[in-house]
Amino acid sequence: MNGTIALEEHFAVNETVDESKQFMPESLWTELKARLLDIQDKRLALMDKYGIEMMILSLNAPAIQAIPDAKQASELSRIANDFLADQIQKRPNRFAGFAALPMQDPDAAIAELTRCVKELRFKGALVNGFSQVKTMDSAVYYDLPQYWPFWQAVEELGVPFYLHPRNPLHTQQLIYEGHPWLLGPTWAFAVETATHALRLMSSGLFDKYPRLQVILGHLGEGLPASIWRADHRIKKFSRGIPAAKPLSEYLRSNFYITTAGNFRTQTLIGVMMEVGADRLLFSTDYPFEEVSDAADWFRSAEISETDRLKIGRLNAMKLFNLASCQ
């Protein structure tokens, strides 16, 4: 379909671009690097060719989250966000932005998100999983108490938070030892991100801030297929979980799910059955995936035209207040 809105679409600045080299064979790196650094040329031409009206852009991974020094993380966040704002100003009808945030310092993250939403007119934030704080061998997750004021600020600003994957730390990769092909988007990304999302759900966060909206990519990182069993086991053998509701209720009320990088109709239909078409959003995961693959699949996926329009456009217009997007 034409007029689609895509929202897991990545760019890089010179300071972060080389962090994406690990996700591509050497033979493809030159092309990927060029695509990450480009916004106005090849990216826009692909959008025009495949009927994508708008991309909401976000910084590549892990980028800010892999900087243990909070001051440095804040400085690079600001550089990346200002660069993105300048690019959006050139074509505000085609591009919008997610803020990169220095989650190493919750107060700094609140300040930067507030600036990006109120001054730069960004549509929310995208954060690349846990943050390394003070030391390289640290992994800090956002259900912890020090982040609850941050979540309050997100709710008050009325914007969504995209929880994007990253690999586990090298010291936490023993299960993948000798099997490097299972790292990254093949498997490790989903395990890491789904676990982080379950921590948020089970912490009681959404009871305290019920209007919070979190976005997961890749058709939900496997959670829609597994959430019933998680609820079943928690109910059967409760271990003092702080959350007041079954986790599936938060998945259906506080999460949106995108098609980024997971172009499988059977899986899409399963997610629709679990959370409903109103909670799904089209995305490609460019430039790590091809716009053509995403657009051709979505155009021919065996779903109703009503649902295709919702997922491809209308849900995003409502979530991001894009009523003026024509």
- Catalytic, out of 285, 293, 296, 307: 285
Give the residue carrying structure tokens 């941050």.
150
Q: Which two tokens stand for residue 214?
A: 């979190």
CA angle 188, 190, 193 (to 5 degrees): 105
Quick one: three-class SS letters along the chain? CCCEEEEEEEECCCCCHHHHHHHCCHHHHHHHHHHHHCCCCHHHHHHHHCCEEEEEEEECCCHHHHCCCHHHHHHHHHHHHHHHHHHHHHCCCCEEECECCCCCCHHHHHHHHHHHHHCCCCCCEEEECCECCCCCCCCECCCCHHHHHHHHHHHHHCCCEEEECCCCCHHHCHHHCCCHHHCHHHCHHHHHHHHHHHHHHHCCHHHHCCCCCEEECHHHCCHHHHHHHHHHHHHHCCCCCCCCCCHHHHHHHHEEEECCCCCCHHHHHHHHHHHCHHHEECCCCCCCCCHHHHHHHHHHCCCCHHHHHHHHHHHHHHHCCCCCCC
285 is catalytic: yes
CA angle 67, 69, 23 (to 5 degrees): 5
Dist CA 320 CA 211 (whole Å): 14
Dist CA 260 CA 273 (whole Å): 18
Q: Active-site residues: which are they?
A: 285
